[in-house]
Amino acid sequence: MSHRHFLIHKPYGYLSQFAGEAKKKKLGEFHDFPEGIMAIGRLDEDSEGLLLLTTDGRMSELVRSRKIEKEYYAQVDGLVTDAALTQMQTGVEIGIHGVKYLTNPCAARRLDSAPAFPPRTRKIRDDRHGPTSWVSITLTEGKFRQVRKMTAAVGFPTLRLVRVRVGDIWLSDLAAGEVREVPDFGL
């Protein structure tokens, strides 16, 4: 059997699934996907960005393994400090389903300027609430809402979260809701 693979730019407000809660928006609204399609990993309803889809369970396991980097751009509340970046780089304690967890070391850096993402469908907030900044966080693990919990743990809650890269695959010019079939993921 030949497997099929897709890239999608998951927009804000959609679940990373094809079935489930009737009133929630799901990925199947964007394309007529083949039977057996699954999202590799997840992006929560409030997050956006690159999501890989496949009909190959082995490929899904490989990508979700700790061997593949996932990079996120997070817009955070306030001007992120060097100390906060260092904390995230060395690991911070977060709660996962009521259990304390120390995140693995990761790459975290301040972005010099805001990424050129189109405005989100729901406004983040007004400038009168103070400054924001953008950080890049690259993980090899993927705990439940991990990036959001990490930035909050160091005092800079996430306002907007966009996955921009999985391994060597970049979000690039994929528009929100756009689906692109690829022959393989090249991983």
Residues known to be catalytic: 44
How many residues appear in the chain? 187
Cα angle for residues 139, 154, 69 (degrees, 5° grid): 5
The terminus-to-terminus CA distance of the chain in angstroms comes to 20
